Structure 1
């Protein structure tokens, strides 16, 4: 086997004095009996994959070493991460064997994101690259293209992404592979996901929580994950935490999580060790699943986890310029960074690549030799890179007619309670393809109606275990997001409802996911997936009791920054509009849908039929609150967001009493994207539509739920922006009353009214003459409201009464 291991400091072996009860929770080496031909197939696959992976990092020519290397054979920019590749290739080879032997359905999820050279090399060997990319045929030309184009504008990037066949995880950000894997196996009882978690990645908070994922997997209805912790000791330039833990510490850690450990570390016979370990893991999984599916589920089953210990950069250069490479952090990225200019490093590269004996690995025409092909599944649908779950699994869900769930116009209803009834029916109609992932906030967010026909899927609770359940509640936004990503990318539809202030926790995860979907759309072979859906409620306007820490609408801006063909932001103003929006989002594909609304009872302004038309348009004039149906207004008042729209309507009623000769048009915008400059977003209003809704020249006041700069960015480029005033969340808040929150942030009815009279004064001479007096009157009303709140600790009577016109 190439790559003699350098004597580097390693964690001590399992101590002989390990307590018996702890020892019983780990499984030591029980070598699998492998036929010599099978072991040869595994070994040649591993060597070939390692060779290709290393060559991809370095070579722009002479890819099969048909002559000695020259400086001109080396790429000008050396990109890619070598250190994790040998371990990833080892796992790939053995998963191939496992699938071939047992006809299993297996996905391979790779946490070390920059391990793309390993995965691409293995995909080429199994023929999956050729299926999706004809330029990467399994011959000399295809191999040349793969190696020379890697990490160039013509080829694959250095990290795993949507262009990588078989992938359901973006490798550009660490920590999420395990949660994604658990999401992928939900409701897929025959699927096994082998998930490699790098020991650097294992240091992240999201991974630490995701180890609890099995506690939300009912083995009767769902598949299983085989976590493989790749402990090679180093990250970019430092030891890893897991690399410094001995076996006893790792057993204690994982037994506490609920796992049974098996260590894979017999470097002298790694193939027997790995084969036996995977066989053991599958047997443990089948035992747990069989018990659950026979009606006798195991209480708190201990699922398998493999701890794979290999040297960093195993089989690569041992020393360079007298410095250890293999088994050190120097192997993490490019072990020979000066190979294009340093004769010694070029020679080291030649020796390294020749150590794999490429002439024994490839035929004369450049294909893989038969021993490699012998362990690869012959059924293309079983190959790791060609599983349909990863690229063609989506079937639209059944979404009932939402209008049947509509509520009476003029009533007071909580949007969340109303959509809870619709969600309950969606879960009934789609019992294996829809789930809700929530960070322990469903009841608080008044969505508990979803529990009418389902429950929480929490397997470590005696009252809910072995009963399935469509709802996953775990107090980790990262884990909810990971579950949702894995579930969505394998063909299903999910929902993530949350307190508004805490969705920002998964901002970068959402962005990474959107990048994955963007690249997936640009491939020719990945099919559409469902949209990823968020609900923000418990919003800042009604988080006055929790205080300033719970007041934050910033996730809106995060979604707005996405590519226009991905981003969708909706702020339904009432319950019927929210029902319409939710039904639309569940039917949509490949978007990031953000829905923002109130959980508190509020007036239902539109009938189901009116809400349907309003939501299709994305915004409309609300004639009932406007002067003479909004014709020829002096000023346009726009509400965006439930509470903010209520204040605009209240302002219109207040103005009708205070300034009866002021002409007002009230507009509600429910689809934020219609405001963007024509052509900037698929939903953007064209110039004529924009002027028809907002007038060509009248002052406009926006009362907006989020940060005002977000609207400024959307509106930038529209003509006559100097007539527009925007008020939104100003980062002002504390533990106070709901109306005081609006006063503090200048979005109350009084602030809207003041902006209206100031804007209207330019056109309406009567208003202009009275402007000073009107402004003083409104300012006095603001002061009276503030004084009342301060004295009584509550809002003035009648504050939330439905405005009358």
Structure 2
């Protein structure tokens, strides 16, 4: 597949014109992956298993695709293209890693795949997420010894400690040690057997090493049978109410040479068993006679004519190892491509607050999710990086618990919450859980969601291909819907004044905004009722990445439940209670995006109504950030008419925005119309251990900053005289200095700083 575009059955000697002009792909990992696919298929056949094969070394796509062709999975999902015959095989080989064909890495076009095969490190965590609440499923997860050097994989070796064998399936990790990365030895390749066994025994695994190349089939067969028996022993004990505390789950270490069975050497360089076989071992096969001859000898060594008949059909002995039930073949298991399980809906209104009440959005969320978990005891989980209590979500635990099997207090108790201080594990668990049809929620401190930014991007690429296909071709109609990934971002920079600068970072918003627009949603509900509505909406959505940002601290409830529903359904709207009375054209528009930033806008509006009542003000709140994107660039974008209805056609607009200014500027710039009359204020990398209000001041988003901007625009527009404007600015400066002086003297904000402003 890496080399040939013609003569794929070697019916004549190879010529240069048979070779692709660009040689792309990775050979080194493929022999081990093919060996495992064959043996896992036999294991499924012999025991009628529901098994998923997760391939960490996703660059080994040629191995996966070849096996999927052989087991007829490609033929099933791509009828008429990749039939199990000479035409189908020729098409698969010729189209690999060329425009219009399969890419060089495993992706959503690969039947059976639930893991994007590009960025390394996440296969094991995804595998564990996939088996949660699926008691009959086993995931065989192959981890390359290069991938095993990543921090995410290092944490994932602990993941079995969160699996309750009574309610969930099992993961069989297979560490594939071929000794080399792209250009150097691997850490695991330099460890002897005692060191490997000691390391993984310390993690809690029962280790079997498979390394006898002369008898590799017999040894691997026996190892897999042993592993399956160990898994069933652990599960049977748990399901007979005799659970084993700290069970030692099996794992296999498979040792084979990198590029095994490939050319031994070329141009004086060792290939087999060396890093030089990682990618294309014969890179000049399309131009160098020695390379072409070596390729001919290599491919001929597989005796393809003994395995396929002249029409390209596999001989009976090859097909004999495949599961007779075709729906259980590794590329066909329905769980990997069409397993969407709807949630039982729970109304949010019973958990809402009356208008005017002070309420914590996160406490409201905790109460609501407690009910959601009760209504959906096996199809939703929450993954938290040790922050549930800190984020004021502990009421989730009213009717469930934490699922940590190595703790005697949470052992075998069916908890819906997994807390582990690894954002990588939380993300991987949620991906695996979601990709097999269920719903996951990931609450986190705002500053630390960035740890999983590239994981989220990789997941987004998988979903994009699953729902839209690649290269403009929707080849993946066979993949069903998925629940959305749901992130609750709290403990935000605005209230991380006690932890300091390191905890102040709203950058994850930019990660989500950079994703394909059809799959990205960012929400800033300003109060508890709007947050509840938005969360309910997100839990009903499919195929998206939802980011909800809000405060864990008590804040005013601006809208009744009915008003919150209408406001959120529109995505943005006027806060009439804080705006100048009457349906008048404003002189300025003040926009709040984010809980605390909206409060500062409302407080500023109150000051302006008192100081300059003849300055007509409109206060707007934006919940759905995507409403601001350029018309036509996103399905949620405001039309030009809708945009001007909210923000006017020509008046100055100030956006007091929770995130980095550049995020919002990029959305607004796409509109082009009237950008020059818009100002954006947001987090500007200023902060320390200080007070909440001081955080507003140093970032230029306090009520005083908003008032000063409004006065200057009023003077520029001729609504205020220069003298009047100057006097008001002086008043505001003095008031600001008074507040900051109080903070310096007392070490806290004034007690009334966050009282709901009064409006006549």
> How far did residue 769 of structure 1 move?
4.5
Q: Which residue of the partner structure matches residue 713 of structure 1? A: 666
Task: Map residues 185-196 of structure 1 onto 2, 5 A cutoff.
Answer: 185-196=131-142
Q: Distance in 2 between matches of 1:452 and 1:797?
A: 33
1:126 touches 1:383 (CA, 8 Å); kept in 2?
yes
Q: Which residue of the partner structure matches residue 57 of structure 1? A: 2
Q: Distance in 2 between matches of 1:146 and 1:760?
A: 68
Task: Map residues 99-498 of structure 1 onto 2, 5 A cutoff.
Answer: 99-134=44-79, 135-498=81-444
1:114 touches 1:172 (CA, 8 Å); kept in 2?
yes
The range that moved more, 708-717 or 121-130, is 708-717
> How far did residue 266 of structure 1 move?
1.1
Q: Distance in 2 between matches of 1:804 and 1:764?
A: 27
1:598 aligns with 2:551: yes
Task: Map residues 567-606 of structure 1 onto 2, 5 A cutoff.
Answer: 567-606=520-559
Q: Distance in 2 between matches of 1:506 and 1:158?
A: 24
1:699 touches 1:760 (CA, 8 Å); kept in 2?
no
2:714 touches 2:720 (CA, 8 Å); kept in 1?
no
Q: Distance in 2 between matches of 1:790 and 1:664?
A: 33
Q: Which residue of the partner structure matches residue 30 of structure 1? A: none
2:615 touches 2:719 (CA, 8 Å); kept in 1?
no
Deviations 1:372-418 (A, max 9, x none): 11111121210100111110000211121111211111000000000
Extract unaligned runs of 5+ from structure 2.
469-475
Q: Distance in 2 between matches of 1:322 and 1:772?
A: 82
Q: Distance in 1 between matches of 2:573 and 2:638?
A: 12
Q: Distance in 2 between matches of 1:637 and 1:721?
A: 15
Q: Distance in 2 between matches of 1:335 and 1:254?
A: 33
1:562 aligns with 2:508: no
> How far did residue 541 of structure 1 move?
0.2
Q: Which residue of the partner structure matches residue 37 of structure 2? A: 92
Which residue of 725, 732, 735 corresponds with 1:781? 735
Q: Distance in 2 between matches of 1:701 and 1:764?
A: 18
Which residue of 743, 749, 759 corresponds with 1:795? 749
> How far did residue 117 of structure 1 move?
0.2
SS of the residue 1:337 aligns to: coil
Q: Distance in 2 between matches of 1:385 and 1:766?
A: 71
Q: Distance in 1 between matches of 2:723 and 2:690?
A: 37
SS of the residue 1:565 aligns to: helix
Q: Which residue of the partner structure matches residue 758 of structure 1? A: 712
> How far did residue 776 of structure 1 move?
2.1
Q: Which residue of the partner structure matches residue 689 of structure 2? A: 735
Q: Distance in 2 between matches of 1:298 and 1:626?
A: 64
SS of the residue 1:568 aligns to: strand
Q: Distance in 1 between matches of 2:727 and 2:591?
A: 24
Q: Which residue of the partner structure matches residue 500 of structure 2? A: 547
Which residue of 5, 20, 28 corresponds with 1:75? 20
Q: Which residue of the partner structure matches residue 473 of structure 2? A: none
1:621 touches 1:630 (CA, 8 Å); kept in 2?
no
Q: Distance in 2 between matches of 1:323 and 1:729?
A: 55
Alignment coverage as a number of residue pairs: 750
Which residue of 564, 574, 577 corresponds with 1:624? 577
Q: TM-score, normalised by structure 1?
A: 0.93
Deviations 1:118-157 (A, max 9, x none): 0000000000000111200000100000000000012101
Q: Distance in 1 between matches of 2:225 and 2:37?
A: 14
Deviations 1:707-745 (A, max 9, x none): 111111001133111111110001000000000000000
Q: Distance in 2 between matches of 1:519 and 1:577?
A: 32
Q: Distance in 2 between matches of 1:153 and 1:298?
A: 52
SS of the residue 1:593 aligns to: strand
> How far did residue 245 of structure 1 move?
0.4
1:631 touches 1:665 (CA, 8 Å); kept in 2?
no
Q: Distance in 2 between matches of 1:742 and 1:309?
A: 57
Deviations 1:576-599 (A, max 9, x none): 000000000000000000000000
Q: Label 1:734 to 1:650 Cα distance change in 2 as closer, same or farther (>3 A).
A: same
Extract unaligned runs of 5+ from structure 1.
1-55
2:383 touches 2:442 (CA, 8 Å); kept in 1?
yes
SS of the residue 1:703 aligns to: strand
Q: TM-score, normalised by structure 2?
A: 0.98
Q: Distance in 2 between matches of 1:572 and 1:232?
A: 50
